């Protein structure tokens, strides 16, 4: 009885999640979206039949049933916003730092939909008990309904491969359960020997050689700025018809501008690991485990070379295991919102002006002529896109709020660079400025935020290298690079040898290589940017997507069916890369952790 009620709850929740969304209609649609709901109901029904013979079992069934109803209800607004019920990885992110974002989405509509699911879950079992059919009717219906449900479950995975559900075929329970389990097997084949970034299709000649700059910045200070949630598509310097970051636009006039820079992972913490240590993170691996990986960070390399090192973060190191990524990485000073304080505080951190002033105070505390490596991690740009003062864009949509947040980040970045200039250090400093990942606003179905998909709005970021007095004009580089290339590129500019452990490559070298990226926040997605081609692979459904992003920058025309050989080659490459990287990270963690 409660199993049938749970099925109804799951169906009502699914309809609430899908309301207003475009849905691909075919003979497979209903099966694709409902088979997992039927599966959960049957499993719960088996549990119910087993334990309801006992008084304690009946009480336990009611407790579990109501807990499931509550969890399903909570997931309705989550899925409506993010196109995914809570996964195990997402649960790890729902900490105090996101309270402001949670409050922002506690709308009347979302609360009413949650209440609808709860009311259905409470009332249906009692209504069903009053109007339940006689035993003979139940018996007559049991066999055909069981056959129907079994067939639905058997055909379900095939239906999902025919319908692009964007992961919305999962319900709150299966989304959590499937992401709790390992999703990819570690494989040591080619782990340390294969050149994963070499294209399996075409071997292109090197383009846009910048090797003349190798060592050109020797002896300079370094300021590394990771702009939070800054997507390239929203910036005038990258072709947008608006200019939310005018200071960045001005900096680009005398900088190297990489037009196709890609995050390794569309989330700040694992992305930061790839930047600092030039190592790929791995599928199914929590950020906390990266503390065991002793690959020398760029801060450690430069400290060994005589630099003073510091990292200032307007957010909080406790978020998503960030402390494990930055601690013991060669920074003399590590300060976050708790240490910095500020004029304004939010659940996510403090105002940028306080962080910038703290960084400049640290520079002032260094002796004259002392070289420094400064890392600045702002939070401006993160949802809910709050700013201390109104920005230049009229706030009618979430995108408008985001643009104002980028403008605030731009002002803060400019204040830091101006502070370096006022201290007479500008022409003795190398500035490396880029977005840690992008931000999506529904450019593709269900794609909001940054963590769950791999379209260009999620992972293509601005990337500028500025060396005042050395780079005097705009230089645009179109070949793809990866944020994992940051550390070796900076070291190449400084004339410092990069560690052998680095998996990234110096972007100064004229090599045509692919950018590799993945996300496992919800669906397990992997992909590459290879010249003008962009490939995406969804592991759960086995679906591939292929785009010519030069001719189709909006990634609107999937060409996978017309290029089967290219798709097969890319699919093999990303799957092998992900398995090998998991083996590499797992092996290092086990060794260093003494497991």
Give tens-digit pLDDT for 483-500.
999 999 999 999 999 999
Would you say residue 239 lies in a domain? yes
Whether residue 564 is contained in a domain is answered as: no
pLDDT at 274: 96
Q: Are residues 167 and 223 in the same domain?
A: no
What pLDDT sits at residue 125? 78
Q: What's the whole-model pTM score?
A: 0.92
pLDDT of residue 376: 98
Give the end of a domain, one of 134, 159, 180. 180
Q: Determine the Cα–Cα distance for residues 82 and 446; give it in Å rounded to an integer.
A: 7
Q: Is 496 part of any domain? A: yes
Q: pLDDT band at residue 134, thresholds of 50, 70 and 90?
A: very low
222 with 306, same domain: the answer is yes
Q: What is the mean pLDDT of the chain?
A: 89
pLDDT above 80 for 543: yes
Please tell me the least confidently modeled range out of 333-347, 417-431, 489-503.
333-347
Domain stop point among 180, 206, 235: 180
Q: Is the pLDDT of residue 324 over 90?
A: no
Residues 507 and 376 placed together within one structural domain of the fold: yes
Buried b (16+ CB within 10 A) or exposed e, 396-417: eebebbbbbbbbbbbbbbbbbb
Residue 298 sits in the same domain as residue 152: no
| pLDDT at residue 154, as a whole number | 84
Assess if residue 256 is contained within a domain.
yes
What is the DSSP secondary-structure string of 372-419?
Answer: EEEEEE--TTSTT---SS--SS--SSHHHHHHHHHHHHHHHHHHHHHH
* In a shared domain, residues 29 and 100: yes
Whether 585 maps to a domain, the answer reads no
Label residue 588 by pLDDT band (50, 70, 90).
low
What are the pLDDT digits (tens) for 264-274?
A: 999 999 999 99
Is the model's pLDDT at 131 over the cut of 70?
Answer: no
Q: Tell me phi and psi for residue 535, to 5 degrees.
A: -120, 140
Split into its structural domains, the chain has a count of 2
- Give yes or no for a contact between 317 and 334, defined as CB atoms under 8 angstroms apart: yes
Is 253 within a domain?
yes
The reported pLDDT for the residue numbered 145 is: 65
pLDDT score recorded for residue 285? 86
| 187 within domain boundaries | no
pLDDT tops 60 at residue 142: no
CB-based contacts of 132: which residues, under 8 Å, 6+ apart?
1, 138
Residues 176 and 263 in one domain: no
Residues 243 and 291 in one domain: yes
Indicate which CATH number applies to the domain containing 425.
3.40.720.10
For residue 466, give the 3-state DSSP assignment. strand
Is residue 41 included in any domain, yes or no?
Answer: yes
pLDDT over 70, % of the chain: 92
Q: Are residues 175 and 221 in the same domain?
A: no
User: Is residue 367 located within the same domain as residue 443?
Assistant: yes
Whether residue 100 is predicted with pLDDT greater than 80 in this model: the reply is no
- Residue 461, pLDDT above cutoff 80: yes
Residues 293 and 341 in one domain: yes
* Per-residue pLDDT tens digits for 343-359: 777 667 899 999 999 99
The residue range of the domain holding 483 is 214-513
Of the given ranges (69-73, 204-208, 321-325), which has the lowest mean pLDDT? 204-208
Give the pLDDT confidence score for residue 98 in this predicted structure.
58
Could you say which of 455, 482, 513 is where a domain stops? 513
More confident residue, 184 or 425: 425
Q: Are residues 170 and 226 in the same domain?
A: no
pLDDT greater than 80 at residue 584? yes
**499 near 421, Cβ under 8 Å?**
no
Asked if residue 376 and residue 233 are part of one domain, the reply reads yes
Using the predicted structure, report yes or no on whether residue 444 has a pLDDT greater than 90: yes
């Amino acid at each position: 009885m409660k199993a049938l009620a749970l099925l109804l709850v799951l169906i009502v929740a699914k309809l609430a999640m899908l309301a207003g969304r475009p849905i691909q209609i075919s003979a497979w649609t209903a099966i694709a979206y409902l088979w997992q709901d039927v599966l959960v109901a049957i499993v719960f029904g088996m549990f119910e039949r087993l334990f309801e013979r006992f008084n304690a079992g009946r009480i336990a069934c009611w407790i579990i049933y109501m807990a499931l109803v509550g969890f399903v209800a909570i997931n309705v607004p989550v899925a409506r916003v993010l196109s995914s019920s809570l996964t195990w990885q997402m649960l790890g992110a729902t900490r105090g730092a996101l309270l402001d974002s949670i409050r922002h989405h506690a709308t009347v509509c979302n609360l009413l939909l949650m209440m609808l699911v709860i009311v259905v879950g409470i009332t249906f079992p009692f209504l069903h008990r009053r109007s339940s059919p006689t035993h003979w009717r139940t018996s007559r219906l049991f066999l055909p309904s069981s056959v129907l449900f079994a067939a639905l479950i058997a055909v379900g995975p095939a239906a999902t491969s025919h319908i692009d559900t964007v992961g919305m075929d999962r319900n709150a329970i299966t989304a959590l359960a499937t992401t709790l389990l390992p999703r990819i097997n570690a494989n040591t084949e080619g782990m340390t020997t294969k050149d994963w970034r070499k294209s399996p299709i075409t071997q292109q000649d090197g383009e846009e050689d910048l090797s003349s700059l190798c060592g050109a910045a020797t002896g300079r200070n370094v300021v590394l700025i990771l702009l939070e949630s800054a997507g390239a598509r929203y910036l005038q310097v990258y072709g947008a018809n608006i200019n939310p970051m005018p200071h960045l636009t001005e900096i680009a006039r005398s900088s190297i501008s990489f037009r196709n820079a890609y995050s390794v992972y569309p989330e700040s913490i694992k992305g930061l690991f790839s930047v600092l240590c030039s190592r790929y993170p791995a599928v199914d691996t929590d950020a906390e485990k990266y503390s065991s990986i002793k690959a020398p960070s760029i801060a450690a390399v430069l400290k060994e070379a005589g630099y003073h090192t510091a990292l200032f973060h307007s957010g909080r190191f406790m978020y998503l295991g960030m402390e494990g990524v930055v601690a013991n990485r060669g920074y003399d000073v590590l300060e976050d919102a708790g240490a910095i304080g500020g004029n304004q505080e939010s659940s996510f951190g403090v105002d940028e002006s306080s962080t910038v002033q703290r960084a400049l105070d640290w520079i002032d505390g260094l002796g004259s002529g002392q070289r420094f490596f400064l890392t600045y991690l702002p939070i401006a740009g993160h949802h809910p896109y709050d700013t201390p003062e109104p920005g230049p864009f009229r706030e009618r949509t979430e995108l408008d709020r985001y643009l104002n947040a980028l403008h605030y980040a731009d002002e803060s970045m400019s204040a830091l660079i101006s502070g370096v200039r006022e201290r007479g250090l500008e022409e003795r400093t190398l500035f490396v400025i880029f977005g840690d990942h992008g931000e999506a606003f529904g450019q593709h179905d269900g794609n909001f935020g940054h963590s769950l998909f791999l379209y260009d709005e999620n992972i293509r970021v601005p990337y500028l290298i500025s060396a005042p007095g050395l780079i005097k004009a705009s230089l645009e580089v179109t070949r793809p690079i990866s944020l994992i290339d940051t550390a070796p590129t900076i070291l190449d500019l400084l004339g410092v040898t990069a560690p052998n452990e680095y998996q990234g490559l110096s972007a100064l070298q004229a090599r045509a290589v692919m950018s590799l990226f993945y996300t496992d926040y919800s669906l397990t997605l992997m992909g590459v940017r290879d010249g003008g081609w962009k490939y995406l692979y969804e592991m759960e459904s086995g679906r591939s997507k292929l785009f010519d992003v030069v001719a189709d920058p909006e990634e609107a025309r999937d060409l996978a069916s017309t290029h089967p050989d290219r798709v097969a080659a890319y699919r093999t490459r990303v799957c092998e890369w992900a398995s090998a990287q998991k083996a590499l990270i797992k092996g290092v963690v086990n060794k260093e952790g003494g497991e």
